[in-house]
Amino acid sequence: MTIKKLMAGLLTLIVISGCNESSTKTTELIVVADKESKQLEAQVAHHNAQDYHSFSNPDAVKVTHLNLDLSVDFTQQTLSGHVSLDFQRMTPDADTLILDTRDLVISKVVADGNDLAFNLANADNFFGAALSIKLPSHSSQVTVYYNTSPKASGVQWLTPAQTAGKKYPFLFTQAQAIHARSFIPLQDSPQVRVTYEATIRTPKALLAVMSAANDPDTPRDGVYEFSMPQAIPSYLIALAVGDLHFKAMGERTGVYSEIGILDAAAAEFEDTESMLIATEKNFGAYSWDRYDLLILPPSFPFGGMENPRLSFITPTVIAGDKSLVSLIAHELAHSWSGNTVTNATWRDLWLNEGFTTYLTYRIMEMVYGEERFDMEAVLGRQDLQADLDTLKPNDQILAINLKGRDPDEVFSNIPYEKGALFLRELEHKVGRANFDQFLLEYFKAFAFQSITTDDFISYLEQTLLQDYSDKLSKQRIEEWIFEPGLPKGAPVPKSDAFTSVDKARNDWLSGTIAASNIDSDNWVVHQWLYFLNNLPAELSSAQLTELDKAFGLTNSTNNEIAHSWLLICVNNWYQPAFPRLNEYLVSIGRNKLVKPLYKALSATPEGKVMAQKAFAKAKDGYHPLTVKVNEKFVK
């Protein structure tokens, strides 16, 4: 490839064989006019190790370390400063470093005190703009001076009014999958691992925390230094700034949040230390020193994000009864599956999320017992079924082809629950102790590496497939990984605790008993979810009124129960719940909770009007991702 072509501003840069050129399999970089690009792209085969979501060129020049120096400006809503990138040349003639960016303003690029020529390509809607830097022959570091845009896709800026304390602004980043490039120019591919250091400059009253070593006792002076000595992929770089306070939960675990929810959070998540110890016991030592939680404002678009040493957590799981803490087990488990052994491309996301979901179930079983595990496994299986019933066959495949697609738009339960069920089958076939030993060795074998689905299959061929050739077959494994749906005979989770719930639901639906006579005094949250999620699609207004009167569902303070109930209310146009629905949509930005509601509302003209009103009111407080994935329902 030639840099001259890249510089040709009139042409659109299309990397035919994927954004990461010069892979082992294919190296050609072709520049074509926009019109021809689609046809040509369609002719080129998918390459499994190719990261189709990054323009960067780590096979030629690989970045190994970042040093960030950023000032946080809440008035302009920008991060500005510079990042120094240390790199290695992977080929002797490599002379160009290509970085990913999105909506960044690049002011200059410097190496060894000299300004360098650089080119920022035209932006692609999904992937941003490639920044090409011509490297002087002996340099091994460049520094990029830049600032972010207020609309950076990976940053949310909150006004004081949008925080719990109402006094100070708040900022947090969310880099997975391809948003790190909206706040740092870097090689935004999970194949590339970097260590990093950072200096973050903030208003004096605020505290900055990062996915790095954090010192809870650091003086609040507006200058915060961080270091992440283990090499991590870019999607795990994270920053938050706010009026944050810290409370220890255990020896290695603690929680950061605004002061108003600190005690509630520490109480809700007090079992984090036990979860950590239980996971280490089975799956190997924790490699990241401390494990802390950061509780974000309710606009956080995910349940949680496994930023190393400091998981970012939605406040919507603080239910008061630990009913939703499997989220913590999940983010903690990523310390092994995801952060230590990492998916090499977004096609391989199931290696992160499927393994983590499997580990989550195991942790919940170890800490809370088999009954809790059984219930969660059944609910997870039902979530999976909902997706299997609606997703196109190609989107039901674990090793999904994401070429040309925005990973944000492809989010589903498939990599999570289908991935976990696959591992559950392996466990059942070889026995739990043997499977645990396998996992322990797998985490060791690939520690601090990024691997593809194909790497995993080769590893299976050298391990379980050899040792248990009488019980496992490659064909079955390929069916799990490459075929839609579920293989026949897949494990079927069961829970005795749900038997009485099924009976109660049936008795009520058939008119045998009134809702007020359902013996639900001892039901836990999971039983309520199972009760609600398995009601028939159509219910009368009288039935909904009866349920609501008996159980106060509209006013449930459990956000998952409220979600399930509100979805039923939308689908059956139960208007008494609508004020609550409106408040729910405006106060929560977690996509898993709001997206299905917007989608259901958009199915009818009256519903759409409601959705439009709620969205208009909520939009300013939503994260850019929540805006992006729900906008289509209100158009």
State in angstroms the smallest separation of the CB of 384 from ligand BES.
Answer: 12
Q: Report which DSSP code applies to 173.
A: E
In angstroms, rounded to a whole number, what is the distance separating the alpha carbons of residues 600 and 54?
Answer: 34
DSSP E strand boundaries for 296-395: 304-305, 310-313, 341-343
In angstroms, rounded to a whole number, what is the distance separating the alpha carbons of residues 509 and 504?
Answer: 9
In angstroms, rounded to a whole number, what is the distance separating the alpha carbons of residues 15 and 21?
Answer: 7
Q: Which stretch binds Zn ion (CB under 5 A): 141-149, 307-315, 351-359, 396-404?
A: 351-359
Q: Token match 């639901």: residue? A: 505
Partner from ligand BES, Zn ion, none binding residue 416, C-beta < 5-8 Å depending on class = ligand BES
Partner from Zn ion, ligand BES, none binding residue 569, C-beta < 5-8 Å depending on class = none
Looking at this protein, which amino acid is placed at residue 218?
T
| 2 Cβ contact partners less than 8 Å away, ≥ 6 residues apart | none
State in angstroms the smallest separation of the CB of 293 from ligand BES.
Answer: 13
Burial of 153 (0-12, 13-18, 19+ CB in 10 A): buried
Partner from Zn ion, ligand BES, none binding residue 592, C-beta < 5-8 Å depending on class = ligand BES
Q: Which is nearer to ligand BES, 592 or 619 (CB)?
A: 592
Q: Considering only CA atoms, which of 237, 101, 239, 231 is closest in space to residue 176?
A: 237
State in angstroms the smallest separation of the CB of 327 from ligand BES.
Answer: 5
- Judge whether 339 and 352 are in contact, CB under 8 Å: no
Q: Token match 């092994």: residue? A: 336
In angstroms, rounded to a whole number, what is the distance separating the alpha carbons of residues 561 and 550?
Answer: 15
Q: Which is nearer to ligand BES, 305 or 344 (CB)?
A: 305
- Look up 331 and say whether it is catalytic: yes
Q: Considering only CA atoms, which of 485, 477, 433, 434 is closest in space to residue 459?
A: 477
Catalytic residue among 224, 416, 442, 598: 416
In angstroms, rounded to a whole number, what is the distance separating the alpha carbons of residues 13 and 121?
Answer: 8
- Look up 291 and say whether it is catalytic: no
Q: Which is nearer to ligand BES, 327 or 618 (CB)?
A: 327
Partner from Zn ion, ligand BES, none binding residue 180, C-beta < 5-8 Å depending on class = none
Residues that bind ligand BES (CB under 6 A): 176-177, 302-306, 327, 330-331, 334, 353, 416, 592
Q: Which is nearer to Zn ion, 377 or 430 (CB)?
A: 377
Lay out the site mask for Zn ion across 420-459 (x = CB under 5 A, - = otherwise): ----------------------------------------
Catalytic residue among 258, 268, 331, 353: 331
Q: Which stretch binds Zn ion (CB under 5 A): 202-210, 214-222, 346-354, 606-614?
A: 346-354
Max CA pair span of the chain: 83
Q: Token match 């209310």: residue? A: 569
Q: Which is nearer to ligand BES, 515 or 525 (CB)?
A: 525
Q: Which stretch binds Zn ion (CB under 5 A): 199-207, 347-355, 440-448, 581-589?
A: 347-355
State in angstroms the smallest separation of the CB of 532 from ligand BES.
Answer: 19
Partner from ligand BES, Zn ion, none binding residue 176, C-beta < 5-8 Å depending on class = ligand BES
In angstroms, rounded to a whole number, what is the distance separating the alpha carbons of residues 544 and 515?
Answer: 10
State in angstroms the smallest separation of the CB of 621 from ligand BES.
Answer: 18
Backbone angles phi, psi at 589, to 5 degrees: -115, 5
Which parts of this chain interact with Zn ion (CB under 5 A)?
353, 356
Catalytic residues: 331, 416
